[in-house]
Structure 1
Amino acid sequence: MTRYAAPGAEGSLMSYGARYDHWIGGEYVAPARGGYFENPSPVDGKPFTEVARGTAEDVERALDAAHAAAPAWGRTAPAERAQVLLRIADRMEASLEALAVAETWDNGKPVRETLAADIPLAIDHF
């Protein structure tokens, strides 16, 4: 049985930043009210990063960005949109094991499931 080191530990396939903001409009954006919360891993119960705490203002900002981007994406040729999605799938496939380990540390599901089912299915969806 393969054992994976905790994120950020020596030999780990994954590392996380100390804190993550919202990803809105193609950039990281601090939460409107400045709130963050610790994200503990179900694997060991220890926090491994902090995550922005979203509020209605953050949702509105994200919706505004999505509505602003929609017309350009809608005018993009279907074949070009397909290529974007295929490139995402290729990047995911190239990082399959690291993504599976990251998913396991985040949600506690056994890595054999994230490695053999969850991430491959996500790749297939793209």
Structure 2
Amino acid sequence: MIGLITSVIGLVGGYFKDRQTIKARKQARQDKLEEAITTAQTRRIEQGDANAAELDRLSIAQRGWKDEYLLILTTLPVLLAFVPSLAPYVGSGFHALADNVPEYYWYALALIYIDTFGFRRMLRVAIEHWLAHKTKGTLNG
């Protein structure tokens, strides 16, 4: 009788031991998978940053008249706002732009500036932060 009880206890103990081994192996596979995913994401981000930096470098190397044009176009209203007789016209112009220009035009203008002045890498980081903020808000809310 004692032999039978010892055998049953041995079988039950073996079952739980095998179950723990299976769980440990499953967890090890899960850990390896998560590590591989993290490594792949890191490589993709590093490669994307390198590509964006290279495109920015090429853009800066090929600067032409459009850079000067955009610089003048951007700074001229700011400078004219300090001329008292022209300040009302500058303010009216900005109000007209804010009220009448469609949103897609602002995005197109931003893309032109990003391309011209080589801000791709900065834009990439900004988009990643924005997406992280948006997805965090949807996951928690």
Give the TM-score of the pair, scaled to structure 1. 0.31
Name the structure where helix makes up a greater proportion of residues. Answer: 2
Name the structure where strand makes up a greater proportion of residues. Answer: 1
Give the TM-score of the pair, scaled to structure 2. 0.29
Between structure 1 and structure 2, the one with the greater Rg is 2
